[in-house]
Amino acid sequence: MTASPALWKEFGGATDRELVATAATGVEGSFEELVRRYQRPISSYVYRMVGDYEAALDLTQEIFIKVYGSLSRYRSEFKFSTWLYKIAHNSAVDHLRRNAGRERSLMAGLEGDQYELPIESGSLSPEQESERRERRLEIEMVVRSLPAAYRELIALRHSQDLTYEEIVEVTGLPLGTVKNRLFRAREMMRQQFVERGITGI
Amino acid sequence: MATPEHICQSDKIAAYLDGQLDESDNAQFEAHLASCHPCRSELTVQRQFMCELDFALSSSVDLPMPKDFARVVSVRAESDMSGVREGGERRRALLVCLALGTASFALLGATAGKSLMLGVRGIANKVVVILGLLWTALHDAVTGLTIISRVLGRVLLPKSPFASLAALVLLGLAVASLSHLIVSYHRRNQTRLFE
């Protein structure tokens, strides 16, 4: 079922499913609205996976082009975001496979000058803020030091806030494997926090 | 009923925190928590850790996107040829492609037939030309030799009819003596063989 775009006030009130339906019939602006809604979560997820800002942006673009090309294959009984993450997952895995040789150099450059994820400043004092920033950077670094298979699950669960069932859908892994890997990833992280002397965890 | 050792597992605590235990397991675990101090403290640690992770990795932390990223991407996607949308549209495109393909193959076939005939004819023509050339060369050589012999004959032989007659006689004698010489040579060889 497709509602009239005129009633949406520039698509803001449309659901993802409605936007997909109108984008598939070529209504101008509806696909752009979908991209606008998901560009940030998808790019940050991809960035966590590939660890390179430029590559993450290129991949994000590639993912949305792929999504547009397969809009007709989208089945509305699934959540659009899950379907989108699934495409993003496949693209990121392909990218990692293509650049398998570079994985090591990525790991080696962990402590070096990498892109710093910006931090939302709330009502914190400058000291608290810098402390938070430091803590976040440390955690980011620990996440990046995880093997890709673990890193992804941590990103999907804790950054993108997906449920276990959604992670199963996105990665195609059995539920048991997802649970097991997530548990082991967290254990590895805790271990590293202890080694790095990160307190309060 | 599960044993306490079975329940005191940190993966069970993680599953509990993630809301992954079913109702009966959940109740059982909560009952166990009330009586197990190590599990309670482990639960506190894990909960704090997960909160920290969620906070540090929450999606409020985003990559800065280039200006107009959504517009650029959607325009690129919409102009991408692989984005032919409807099945019907794709089928129509496939049919048109098939028709064009068949037509071009037919045309190619026709042109190929013609060009094949042209090729055979071309080769035949070339053979004829080469044969003609050889014939002309042979003809010219014979003509040239005739002319040379004529010229030589005229130069060598004086203009009087008597002299030419004498030359002819001389030629006849030479031919006769040559044949005689050859015959005698062979005879001598033969007699040598039989001796």
pLDDT one-digit tens code per residue, A62-77: 999 999 988 888 888 8
What pLDDT was estimated at residue B82? 55
B74 and A135 in contact by Cβ < 8 A? no
B151-174 pLDDT per residue, tens: 887 776 656 677 778 878 988 999
Which of B25, B63, B67, B90 to mutate against chain A (most A CBs within 10 Å)?
Answer: B63
Nearest CA among A140, A150, A141 for reference residue A188: A150
Q: What are the two backbone dihedrals, phi and then psi, of residue B59, each rounded to the nearest 5 degrees?
A: -75, 0
Query: Is A134 near chain B, with CB under 8 Å?
Result: no
Within A51-174, residue ranges assigned H as helices are 53-69, 80-98, 103-108, 126-145, 148-154, 164-171
| Contact yes or no for A35 and B73 at CB 8 A | yes
Query: Distance of CA A49 to CAs A28, A35, A119, A159, B26, Å?
Result: 32, 19, 19, 12, 33
* Residue contact B59–A159, C-beta within 8 A: yes
Question: Residue A143 CA to chain centroid, in angstroms?
Answer: 13
Are A119 and B58 in contact (CB < 8 Å)?
no
- Which residue do the tokens 């060369």 mark? B137
For residue B69, what are the CA distances in angstroms to A53, A84, B12, B113? 14, 17, 43, 55
Nearest beta carbon to residue A179 from set B10, B20, B83 = B20
Half-sphere exposure of B39 (CA within 13 A, CB side): 21
AA identity, residue A83: W
The confidence score (pLDDT) of residue A91 equals 93
- B54 and A158 within 8 Å at the Cβ level: the answer is yes
The reply to whether the predicted model has a pTM over 0.80 is: no
CB A31 within 8 A of CB B77: yes
pLDDT the model gives residue B189: 67
Q: Which chain A residues are Cβ-neighbours of B57 within 8 angstroms?
A: 139-140, 143, 154-155, 158-159
Instruction: Give the CA radius of gyration of chain A.
Output: 19
Single-letter residue type at B67: K
Residue B1's contacts (CB-CB under 8 Å, 6 or more residues apart) are: none
Interchain CB distance below 8 Å, B77 and A160 = no
From A59-73, A118-132, B166-180, the region with the lowest mean pLDDT: A118-132
User: What is d(CA B149, CA A44) in angstroms, rounded to the nearest whole number?
Assistant: 103
- Where is pLDDT greater, at A196 or A166? A166
| Residue numbers in A near B59 (CB within 8 A) | 40-41, 44, 159-161
pLDDT(B132) > 90: yes
Model pLDDT, residue A172: 93
> Which chain A residues are closer than 8 Å to B48 by Cβ?
200-201
Smallest Cβ–Cβ distance between A35 and the set B61, B70, B82 belongs to B70
Which residues, in sequence order, are CB contacts of A174 under 8 Å at separation 6+?
Answer: A168
Question: How many other CB atoms are there within 10 angstroms of residue B11's CB atom?
Answer: 15
